Amino acid sequence: MKQLLALLAVMSILVLTGCSNVYSQEDGYRMAIINQGFPVPKEAYEVKAEDCVGEISKSAKYKLKGIGDSEGNPPDHYLRTIEEWGWTEMMEDRRGSIHFYEKQGKIISLNIKENVFDVFEMTSATES
């Protein structure tokens, strides 16, 4: 009986370890909770978002291993997917790891850090 319980415990640990949330372009994307037209990786899970202040009308915070390197650079595939979903990057407004995108009058700010990222819907155009 003890051996069976030990085996079940080991198997549970292996299953949980194998299901960790890590960025993979093969897993695909889903809609962000704050904007139905903005993609986030399917494996990302939401954590408590920042309070909305100033130019930010809505915010969502996600955790996902491998979404950004130590300098906040996101995977190229993710950036291409955002553009494939119809968003245009506002290059002149980019601030380090913070990217701004526009689509049909909506502005989204994407702030990527190592293993975490924020998605903000802005109330108005950004100021450079």
pLDDT tens-digit map of 78-111: 999 999 999 999 999 999 889 999 999 999 999 9
- Angle 99-102-128 (CA atoms, 0-180°, nearest 5)? 55
What single DSSP character describes residue 93?
A: G
Report residue 17: phi and psi, to 5°.
-65, -40
Structure confidence by residue, pLDDT tens digits, 32-90: 999 999 999 999 999 987 777 788 899 999 999 999 888 888 999 999 999 999 999 99
Q: How confident is the model at residue 6 (pLDDT cuts 50, 70, 90)?
A: low
State if pTM tops 0.85. no
